[in-house]
Amino acid sequence: MSRSVLAVIEFDDNTPPNEPAFTNEGSIWSLQEDWGLLGCKDYKFMGAISGIQDSTHKGPLIPLRGLPRNAAQSVKQLQDELITGWLTYNEIIASLEHHSVKVETLDPAVLRVLDVMRLLGAKLSEDRVRLVFAIDV
């Protein structure tokens, strides 16, 4: 069965560094049009981050946790999707390793997203950048 991933990069550039991440509403970068994750069919990536279409049958390293409780209002549109979750850059990398997926084999759109997350994490701190995703079922 064909599946697609919808995603945004949510990053907290609005909370002072001495407060917990995402205390204030963060900014989002929609990946639905700009970066091509709308309709992305990289099943290795989807399987690693969610367990959906997982050909390894290992299950997700980090169980799906739905939308972040403090997600930006514009991110909450994804809650209508049945399968939702979020991961930081390091959690994504660990999930890929858990599934023996080499980063360089991922779809170019996914590689761009990971590059952006890594760079934002280096600037803001890793806990202030997350990929929020929904996978249609």
Spatial distance between the Cα atoms of 56 and 75, rounded to a whole number of angstroms: 30
Instruction: Give per-residue burial for 122-132: e unless 16+ CB within 10 Å, then b.
Output: eebebebbbbb
Q: Report the SS3 class of residue 93.
A: helix
Spatial distance between the Cα atoms of 92 and 76, rounded to a whole number of angstroms: 21
Residue 46's pLDDT is: 87
Q: What percent of the chain has pLDDT over 70?
A: 85
Q: Is the pLDDT of residue 115 over 70?
A: yes
Residue 108's pLDDT is: 87
13-39, pLDDT tens digit by residue? 999 999 999 998 888 887 766 555 655
Q: Is the pLDDT of residue 104 over 90?
A: yes
pTM comes to: 0.88
Spatial distance between the Cα atoms of 2 and 12, rounded to a whole number of angstroms: 33
46-60, pLDDT tens digit by residue? 889 988 777 778 888
List beta partners, residue 129: 11
Quick one: tokens of 68? Answer: 């972040």
Q: Is the pLDDT of residue 122 over 90?
A: yes
66-103, pLDDT tens digit by residue? 888 888 777 777 666 668 899 999 999 999 999 999 99
- Please, what is the average pLDDT of the chain? 85
